[in-house]
Amino acid sequence: MTERDYWIAFNMIDGVGTARFLKLREYFGTAEKAWHAGEKELARVEGIGSIIASQIVNGRQRIDVNNELIKIRQHNISVLTLGDEAYPALLREIYNPPMVMYVWGTIHKEDEKAVAMVGSRRATSYGRDMAVKIADEFVKSEITVVSGMAAGIDSCAHWAAIKGGGRTLAVLGCGLDVVYPPQNRELMQEIASNGAVLSEFPLGTKPEARHFPRRNRVISGLSLGTVVIEAAQKSGSLITADFALEQGREVLAVPGSVHSKNSKGTHALIKQGAKLIENAADVLEELGMAENKAHDKKPMVIPADLSPQEKEMAQMLLTGNQSLDALAKRSTLTLTDISTALLMLEMKGRVRQLPGKIFQWMD
């Protein structure tokens, strides 16, 4: 087994999770050594203790890792670990990100420009129309649509992105070999061909209610912002919105009829400070991604009063918004120098930090 295989194996054991796994890996040096450690040695690791150590020992005797690896190949699924460079940058930033992500399809660099769309499974015709309209507008702006492949708003958003020729990502609360809901088999295949279907759950995992909050945090974690279209007062969409807020991401809501139960949740979000939006342009403006269509605008120039480090950052940002990771890869500076230069530029009013550690030059 490879080191990656041991990541997959630990992900199959209930009660371990990302935080504990990383402590184990740090303590033993590799996932392989942690996997073969004895119960007493496991218990000595900070945050593990005797109970979790016993669960690990019993779990590795019970699970069939080789069978999981065979099924992964059979279903043409790839697996990303938190240690992989290709792991989604926005998702890596959240609290307790998934240690492993199963992927059917492909994740592209441009998927970092993503917005989540969630809402009621029992959507009205108004809600479905708004989901299709906004998703189609996102596609025209080259924004990836992220959702949960549920019935209603989720499905409408995915289909609109696909039919518009755009990209879409779906996050499941079950294994990737389980189609849920069953009527979305065709949609699932189309998403995999026009983006990716993702899950942190091992293959064969059933869509149990306790899995969906974990899935919802991934939906918001993959996105710069979350748009809620129709949600009752107690719904999974509001859980996704709560996760987005905890992750420092924007929450935006489409208003509806005051007579509709499906509007109670979205209106509550707006009262609590969520941005009221009517179209994709409203979302992009709130995220600082609105296109500048003024043809007569003066070309942006680098001010002369900047330090060499600040000028290097300015030069990169003049070409468009950049993530911290992207700046670090392109720059000759250290991460500390980059962070300092960006902070100074923010203080001078030259740079604005957007959700997801995206930086924008302010003309």
Which class is domain 103-286? alpha beta
pTM confidence score: 0.79
Q: Is the pLDDT of residue 323 over 90?
A: no
CA pair distance 56, 159, nearest whole angstrom:
41
- Average pLDDT in the 304-321 region? 85
Band (300; pLDDT cuts 50, 70, 90):
low
Cα 27 off chain centre by: 28
Integer angstrom CA distances of residue 60 from 67, 145, 199:
13, 37, 21
pLDDT tens column, 102-119: 999 999 999 999 999 999
Band (128; pLDDT cuts 50, 70, 90):
very high
Which class is domain 3-73? mainly alpha
323 three-state secondary structure? strand
Specify the range with the lowest mean pLDDT, choosing from 10-24, 42-56, 74-88, 311-325: 311-325
List the strands of the sheet with 358-361, edge to edge. Answer: 322-323, 358-361, 351-354
Band (355; pLDDT cuts 50, 70, 90):
low
Q: pLDDT at position 166, please?
A: 96
Structure tokens at 200: 């942190």
Q: In the chain, where are the structural domains located?
A: 3-73, 103-286, 308-361
Phi and psi at residue 15, to the nearest 5°: 95, -10
Pick 308-361's CATH classification: 3.40.190.10, 1.10.10.10, 1.10.3080.10, 3.40.50.150.
Answer: 1.10.10.10
Q: Phi-psi bin for 311: left (phi > 0), alpha (psi -120 to 50), beta? A: alpha
Instruction: Give Dmax (Cα) for the chain.
Output: 71
